[in-house]
Structure 1
Amino acid sequence: MTLEKGGVHEILELDLNEFGDLAAGFAAPMALVWLIAGYFQQQVEIRQNTAALDQQDASLRLQVDELKCSVEAQLLQAATSREQLTVASASAEFHRKEMMRSKQPLISMATGGSGAHRQAGQIYIDVQVQNHGHALTQGKFTIHPEEGSQITFGNGQVSESIDRIGAEGTHRSRMVCQPGFVGEFAMSLHYTDGLGDRQCLLVTATKKDPQKIKFEVHPWSPLAD
């Protein structure tokens, strides 16, 4: 249907079907334009949303990288702290042992005095104990002879008390051996050090010469070790 003349009056006289056809004819192009415009508008919004998501993704990646760097820095800092603590602990332990060592005597033993002499069927050997370290107090030498050996101190006992040996001091003792005794035996020296702690030194003794005993004093080490 076309409108050539009559204008609005003629439109109003149209049947409903014809009016609907007329309205559809006018609305269809507008709907198409609206659809096309909506499509392009949707594309713009999609691109904007995509850009926003990309920006958000980049921001999240940046946050993840920053978090990763932060974790790595904290791990490195923790490792450095552990290393520093280990070094500090080792240094403190070293200085503790050095301080303890400075409070210990430095003992050497040798046959001295008049050497050895025989009396009443026994051999008497003079022994000289020298201290080149810190003074010791409340000392006690103990002989640990091999089974069947006959060796004691001059008092007839296997132990001898020492009240004190000062720094650079000397203690003289006497050991008694059965004639013909040769071999090795062990000794121990228990004492109180400069810190007031009880300590122990071990001594290895060897008698191969009738006139002498060779002593080897083992280096002091903390009892806790």
Structure 2
Amino acid sequence: MQHPMIKLIVPADIISMLNALFGFIAILILSINPTLAYRLSFTFILLALLADGLDGIVARKTRKGEMGPYLESMADLTSTGIATGFFVFHIYYNQLSNQSIFVLLSFIGVVSFYLICSIIRLAAFHPLKTTDYFMGLPAPAAAIILLTCTYLNIPFFYCIFVILLLSFLMISTIHYLKPPNKLSIISASLIFLVIIFDTVFDSIFIWLLLVLSLLYMFIGPIAFRHK
């Protein structure tokens, strides 16, 4: 007889679990060697974000399972919340060697606040779900902005501002228009290009991904009001 839990799993759920797995692998890689492995860890978080977008497509093409909403939220928490926060902390931790313990503890507090806001945002996603808009900045969009800013090594105190801004936007009541399919395809394509290129083109595609995400962050609410 088939296990009742396994029986609940549908194809889209497997994609969601890949999302969580990629995020977990990114954390493990950083734990082994944060200095040498940050590019590989960055790649795995991007793979998780691709999986996050793919699970919804697979669910619409096949069928939605009973566990889908729960798996999706937990997977997103692993990749966009925990793995992203861990990545940011490790990248900037080495720059804090000359800073006071107060600065270090403050940074831990800021990254923890980002994680808490991610938890709230993801937990509230399905209860507050609508067909036209997202309430608050979506966690994947926040993760892309924070990841790319960190990878491009923006100054530490600018990073603090970015983390706090994204945290508040995630739990805000601002209405973000759901991105059209074309924009989602462009974003996924840029993420894919960032993953496969590790040359001078790498930075170009990362900048394009950051600019596109920032445009959505600022224009999304305006587009909703003028819909």
* The two structures share one fold, judged by TM-score above 0.5: no
TM-score, normalization by structure 1: 0.22
The structure, 1 or 2, with the larger RCO (C-alpha pairs under 8 Å, 6+ apart) is: 2
More strand by share: 1
More helix by share: 2
